[in-house]
A and B are shown apart, each in its own frame.
Chain A
């Protein structure tokens, strides 16, 4: 009690130094809270984006499909895809849709690009994916035949809604096929795979183009919750059969790896911040011990135990951590809450592929774990940093302390 009150009072002794050290630590902790909120938000949004536009919860592909990312022909397809779709949907209480992916080229004027031509079921696709609901210009399927194209792709190649483009691809029997179609609408999802590389047709148009009837190469399932994907995947994989299965988490593995990398990089930055904070606090406390040598001697003469003297300085240092922690939790929490509502616009980076699917604004995640971690971190750093000063304060001999103070 004595040590605690004295420690708090002592903080007021060299106000400027205390304010300086505390605000430095506070800023560090706020940076930590905010940056981890951003990382969490990025991860969360990217996962949501992947599920909404790219992976659903679980997808079935023809066997071998996933191993051959760049050379997918239409030799291996899922026969009677609609039947399988309906039985999976019924068995696992999932919403389900069929897609047909055709690797081909899009030609517009002199520009050409390799694209993923995707045939989608106009009715069912929107129960699983949000792609058809992410039109930024034009209109969806329903009237005349045509394609929906990723906005970035259209921009890169310089065509617009209403222009005609040519699709060029190998059909299932192997012959090359091409078709010239108007662009009905542009799609903006924030997912680089879609916005920059995808061309959507109706499933029936795509089948006609590829010269297949009831086959397809993707059945996408969406469950009540994404946690169910693993369980279902385990069960369907256990049955064997001629399918490749991919859960949303597996689909996201690539950018989760990137996020993890960023976490590691950021971990180093935090460690560096911690080191700086520790040095600052330690320095502040060592100076305090040095300045109060005589007072320490006097207190020991009055009958203060060594350990009490040590605690005095330990508490004083930790108090810096607690104060900085409280301020950082409040300010950092407010900052994260604010941006969680307002979002941080990424419009300026729209054309930059950061390897992570993102929409136009980043929303840092509101998680209590980050402020709590920052608080604990601040207190631990200051405790460790003042430990040394506390040892020094309690180590010396009374007589020497009193004499040194005199000199």
Chain B
């Protein structure tokens, strides 16, 4: 495990409301390839903020983030968008599937905005991903025709279809009941080994924390050593 980290966070700070809310304070963190890591901590401790900074969704006030070798501070907004498009998968608490697209179309959506994919290659990739997340034959269903657990599996397939080195998942199990949540985490764990991808979670769900390799505790925007 002495390969170059997928994510490097150095002395990162972010505040909101003109500095009145210090959401992340001087955080440093490395995520190695193939990691299965959770940012834990109570609500409001800065997990989502840190995850968003790592995911190039937000820009820090101070400090530095490096993702897959690229320093985010040096990227323009367009370049950050491209980085997300090519290198980072996202899974959200609310699933956030596009309700008017079928499961298969949702999965292939990230490929549609990547250059050099054909309709056929996208279709095949979607079918394969759906099979791998255990939704074989459900590709033609709309999200509304799927259970919560199934929808989140579609979301996992959508995050992984472009083969990113990093997937960020913010409270992915918060809207799933007991067994479903566990099954989802187990699925992601399997995908991690199959596909050589790092998962970073933001979660205070014990079902997640019990199953990840590393738990990073956050309190008031800081990492508790």
Contacts and interface: CB of A to CB of B under 8 A. Distances in A.
Given A13-B100, A303-B85, A399-B52, A298 B110 contact: no
B94 A302 contact: no
Interface stretch (B76-84, B200-208, B211-219): B76-84
A406 B175 CA distance: 12
A398 B113 contact: no
Contact of A12 (B82, B86, B92, B100): B100
A402 B112 contact: no
B142 to A, nearest CB: 10
B52 A303 contact: no
B58 A398 contact: yes
B81 A303 contact: yes
B82 A303 contact: yes
Q: Is the interface of A mostly helix, strand, loop or mixed?
A: helix
Contacts of B121: none
B113 A308 contact: yes
A303 B110 contact: yes
A6 interface: yes
A402 B168 CA distance: 14
Contacts of A300: 57, 81
A350 to B, nearest CB: 57
B90 A302 contact: yes
Contact of B109 (A13, A302, A399): A302
A303 B86 contact: yes
A143 B103 CA distance: 90
**Could you say which interface size class chain B belongs to?**
20 to 34
A304 B92 contact: no
Nearest to B170: A402
B85 to A, nearest CB: 2
B92 A298 contact: yes
Contact of A2 (B57, B94, B100, B113): B113
B85 A302 contact: yes
Contacts of A299: 98
Contacts of B98: 6, 295, 299
10 residue pairs, one from A and one from B, having the closest CB atoms: A303-B85, A298-B96, A9-B100, A303-B84, A399-B58, A398-B57, A2-B112, A301-B90, A399-B52, A399-B57
23 contacts: A6-B98, A6-B100, A10-B100, A12-B100, A13-B99, A294-B94, A295-B98, A298-B90, A298-B96, A300-B57, A301-B55, A301-B90, A302-B84, A303-B84, A303-B86, A304-B113, A306-B81, A397-B58, A398-B57, A399-B52, A399-B57, A403-B48, A405-B94
Given A6-B98, A397-B58, A399-B57, 12 more contacts: A1-B112, A294-B96, A295-B98, A297-B96, A298-B92, A301-B92, A302-B84, A302-B113, A303-B81, A303-B85, A402-B57, A402-B92
